[in-house]
Amino acid sequence: MRIITFEHQNRIGAGVLTPDDQIIVKAEGKDALYAVRRFIESGEDITAWQCGDASLSLDEVQLLAPIPVPARNIFCVGLNYYDHAEEYSKSDFDQSDKPAIPSVPVFFTKATTSVIGPDAPVRSGLDPTQSVDYECELCFVMGKTAHRVRQADAFDYIFGYTLLNDVTSRTLQQQHNQWFLGKSLDSFAPMGPAIVTRDALPELGDLSISTTVNGEIRQKSTISNLIFDIPTLIETLTATMTLLPGDIIATGTPVGVGLGFKPPKFLKPGDTMTVACDGIGALTNPVI
């Protein structure tokens, strides 16, 4: 099942996108901004949203991020593909003396105010350093409160999956000696196009994830190439803290980001990025 939030005739809506791109509307109005999040938090069976008749088609609406206003910052994992970890280590932006391949997951967060949806513009002018970069990432969305979860049980706590473009100001990331500020500029977290429920994607390893910029493939890998897989991430996070229903965790990006080129290929106004993943779809955003 694909769950979406959208805008139609200046009204917000939320619902289910059918296989033939029709929409079963489950919420409308101002509160629909929070409808998907509240549905996940309620713990209702997902079939509760499958009932009803379709009343709109996808081409009639503008998709928003499936959870436009997350309750908490987006949890992110850095350096979680082998080739990207090497790429970052060899770049001029890594000033640490740590090994290229991390021995434990590297976590940081992105502010909720950085979230935008498909087709919304990434505002590169907010970065005074003009070092805006892209990162395709698979996200999982928690479906239950999770504390001290074993790897063997991890998938039982997942509601579904979506995509994130972890847009980053590389110079701000470097200047502030941590990653939060350089990754939390307004509009720097495109998300979508939908949340695909866990039952619809039982096998993740062979899924291909990619980024194109102006039609040029920059990143392409498979989820099986993660250094730390999803069960490891959930076990690590919940060993000492509690994850909540609706929490969004981005799993990392593969090789091919802009900083890895010589010279770096940073984004500029007029560029168009598309992040895509098998089984989830494509997330396209222009740069202004």
Domains of the chain: 2-64 (no CATH), 74-286 (3.90.850.10)
* The predicted structure's pLDDT at residue 83: 83
Strand 74-78 vs strand 248-250: parallel, antiparallel, or unpaired?
A: parallel
* Region 236-246 average pLDDT: 98
The predicted pLDDT at position 94 comes to 59
Nearest to residue 278, comparing CAs of 184, 186, 117, 163?
A: 163
Beta bridge partners of 142: 158
pLDDT reading at 76 higher than 70: yes
The model's confidence at residue 7, banded by pLDDT at 50, 70 and 90, is very high
Predicted local confidence at residue 97, as pLDDT: 66
pLDDT score of 48: 85
Between these two residues, 203 and 87, which has the higher pLDDT value? 203
Between 90-94, 129-133, 242-246, the lowest mean confidence (pLDDT) is in 90-94
Pick from 169, 194, 199: nearest CA to 67: 194
What's the pLDDT band for 90 if we cut at 50, 70, 90? confident
What pLDDT is stored for residue 102 in this prediction?
87
Task: Give yes or no for a contact between 184 and 127, defined as CB atoms under 8 angstroms apart.
Answer: no
Residues 12-51 have pLDDT tens digits of 999 999 999 999 999 999 899 999 999 999 999 888 898 8
The pTM of this model reads 0.96
For the cut 90, the answer to whether the pLDDT of residue 99 exceeds it is no
pLDDT band at 260 (very low <50, low <70, confident <90, very high): very high
- Residue 240, judged by CB atoms within 10 A of its CB (0-12, 13-18, 19+), counts as exposed
More confident residue, 102 or 283: 283
The larger pLDDT score, comparing residue 177 to residue 154, is at 154
Whether 252 and 77 have beta carbons less than 8 Å apart is answered as yes
Q: Tell me: the pLDDT tens digits for 178-228?
A: 899 999 999 999 999 999 999 999 889 899 999 999 999 999 999 999 999
**CA 288 – CA 272 distance, rounded (Å):** 9
Q: What is the pLDDT of residue 77?
A: 97
pLDDT of residue 87 exceeding 90, the answer is no
Residue 249 has pLDDT above 70, yes or no: yes
